[in-house]
Structure 1
Amino acid sequence: MKNFTFLDFAREIGKHITVNYMMAKDSVKKRLNGEARDGLSFTEFTYQLLQGYDFLYLNQTKGCKLQMGGSDQWGNITTGTELIRRTNGGEAYALTCPLITKADGGKFGKTESGNIWLNPEYTSPYKFYQFWLNVSDADAERYIKIFTELSRDEIEAIMAEQAKDPGLRPLQKRLAKEVTCMVHSQEAYDAAVEASQILFSKNAAEQLHKIDEATLLDLFEGVDMFKISKSDLDGSVKLVDLLTERATVFPSKGELRKLAQQNGLSVNKEKVADINEAATDALLLAGKYILVQKGKKQYYLIIAE
């Protein structure tokens, strides 16, 4: 489109598609019939022409004959096939599938919130696994049929288990396993499961030192963070000073001392017995982080830079 002016577009593309044709689209009729509070903007009305031209351009320059999408794109895609037919008489086809929605009616898509990417740079394997593990029972029943290669008999057996004891969530667990292994790997799945169990594991301290930075940050997403200098971990600073002066996790040494005496202070999931011990870089997780825990549920991350 970069060298295509609006006037050129109106003259060369607009002449092939009538307003009557555009008005006949279900997406347009629904908006005009009052289903949308704000009516139909010019941008929304002409979007089908823009997407149709996109298909035409790919057809002419790349030999593209098929455009696929969700069922909500049927009108836009068929405008493209019609534009190709009327412009150069070429072959073009549309293939759509039922739109996959979530329990709240929202659709999967990069413009929606709370969605996932296949690329681990955008959604880590841990978050990917957690997404499927936490879907509703109704969604799990649908998704396991759509996104896995399990047989009908296997799925029905898992659904029967779910019906007996929904609290065990066998549908979600199997769905999360199948999809995570398919998209990432068995190893990524195993690591995600292990990370999920860290907070409740007796070997949490050992496991924390094994997980990567991305998983660590996902695991403790949303907790308060404090920054310190790596030079603070040269052994010259006591742990009590690190947690009250360098990083103000505690407002006072008295509060920290009292919590430690009550056995309620942990660093990297290990109880702190001596608050006067030297803080060194041996505390670092993923070479950069220290996890501090107050009581059972309050977590803080210290970042050493």
Structure 2
Amino acid sequence: MLHQGSLFISSENKMVQEVVSTKHTSAFVVNTSAYRSVARGFNTSIMDSNLSDKDVVNNAIMLLDNQDIRFMRIHLQSPGTNGESVALHSADKSYSNNIWAPGSPYMDAIESADKLLGDFVSFLKESGKWANTILIVTSDHGQSDNGWHPMLDENSWITPLLFVGKGIARNRELPYFEHTDLAPTILWLLGMQPLKTESGKGIIIREIKEEYSSGGFYHPRFIKKINQQIKEYSILLAKLTLASDKNFAIANVVASLENQNLTPEPFYHQDRIMEWHNAGSAEHLIEANELILNRMRELVKKNSL
């Protein structure tokens, strides 16, 4: 979604770097192979799980020193990896299920990432590139206090996001932004044509620039609503599934909802993400989900679950 700028992921969609790379040089540096699916179209791509976060930043600096790169993504994997470690592999540790506890490797990784960001900014300033650079600091997912990013934890939905650089409004805080907005906003900042995607596409957030007023800023918040629906669906489904063990009538309704016998469309949860485009629009996807949620709510209420 971040690279395609759309809720409706498809192999037919172009990614932001594929548009940039038609006219300018682009690069991606990351220390994991997990992002191969979004690396398509970069002119230069370094993906090596043997690299440290420091190696990633050093490689990015080396590329910027030797190429005229217009768009670059730099991804530091250690915070995410260490967050997962706290969640799944620290049962006997003092920081078990708490990424903020003393000794937590997540804390070490975050502090290291902060220092590396400082090193990168220092390079941009010392090399004379800072004045014409727009730096975007963000994450591809949020972080649970328990570690990792489970879907039901709303902290997993929230990521840091900072724009700084030429023409960017200083000390301005906007109330909301979605990952799907990044690609169209980046292309707009580069003066390039937007991605051609379905109606699930993100929007250009012009209010990040000082020449635009942030008064009256509005965002439809599609992803937040869908995340809320998926969370509620998971909880309702768990309640109904447990009740089905003793009430097969409930089991029939649950199966019918999944198989579309009672509703014209399935619930568009995360496991069906490649089918989301069938909804036609983000608005209709939310409406279709709400129809099923209403049936589930009624069933839970009727059976006092």
- Could you state the TM-score of these two structures normalised by the residue count of structure 1? 0.24
Greater strand content: 1
Point out the structure with max Rg over C-alpha.
1
Give the structure, 1 or 2, with the largest relative contact order (CA under 8 Å, sep 6 or more): 2
- Could you state the TM-score of these two structures normalised by the residue count of structure 2? 0.24
